[in-house]
Chain A
Amino acid sequence: QKEVEQNSGPLSVPEGAIASLNCTYSDRGSQSFFWYRQYSGKSPELIMSIYSNGDKEDGRFTAQLNKASQYVSLLIRDSQPSDSATYLCAVSPYGGSQGNLIFGKGTKLSVKP
């Protein structure tokens, strides 16, 4: 059974701090990794994708991938109250191709003003 594990939280950080969200996956052959943000009552919104080991930065967001440790993380710098949401980690065994994603259950982030 291929699994993606996330700490359910809630993770509470003060405004302006760095939020660190973590995800581990069981399938060593996984190739593509995604982070989604889901506000309460809304559908998931893609915020980052990463395919290679190392860091990928996009604005205040940095995704980090370590395939040897089967670990992917999302850092949110200068956290804002508007970042308060559930963050879903998703993994695919395919790179550059369409396939089925495996989702974690999500980490709830709360950013306190």
Chain B
Amino acid sequence: SQTIHQWPVTLVQPVGSPLSLECTVEGTSNPNLYWYRQAAGRGLQLLFYSVGIGQISSEVPQNLSASRPQDRQFILSSKKLLLSDSGFYLCACWGPSYEQYFGPGTRLTVT
């Protein structure tokens, strides 16, 4: 079965600073990968998904971007963080039984 790794686990960044969050997946090949954000007291918001290397689809226009440099690596970035970027960032992929699984998440606080 697949395993999803995310780092860092927690991050505190000032407004205007850059961001890079990483997700890697083990135990599967050519997975569809997803970035979600969960803001405090709110639901899961799909940010980006990728069906292959270099293929990124954006669900919500904002100051974030995503990249997929390798088959099992998905990166979420920002050039300048906003206070509203604070939240719990989750990477996800589909398992072999067509069920979606989440990584452990990165908690980002923008100060």
Contacts and interface: CB of A to CB of B under 8 A. Distances in A.
Interface in A3-34: 32, 34
Interface in A31-87: 32, 34, 36, 41-46, 49
Give the secondary structure class of A's interface. loop
Nearest to A88: B44
B102 interface: yes
A32 B43 contact: no
Contact of B98 (A32, A43, A104): A32
Contact of B90 (A32, A43, A49, A104): A43
Number of chain B interface residues as a range: 20 to 34
A98 B94 contact: yes
Given A88-B44, A103-B44, A43 B102 contact: yes
Contacts of A43: 88, 90, 102-105
Contacts of A36: 102
A96 B90 contact: no
Contact of B100 (A41, A90, A96): A90
Contacts of A34: 99-100
A103 B43 contact: yes
Contacts of B90: 43-44
Instruction: In the A-B complex, list the 7 residue pairs whose CB atoms are closest, starting with the nearest.
Output: A105-B43, A43-B102, A103-B44, A43-B105, A98-B94, A98-B32, A44-B102
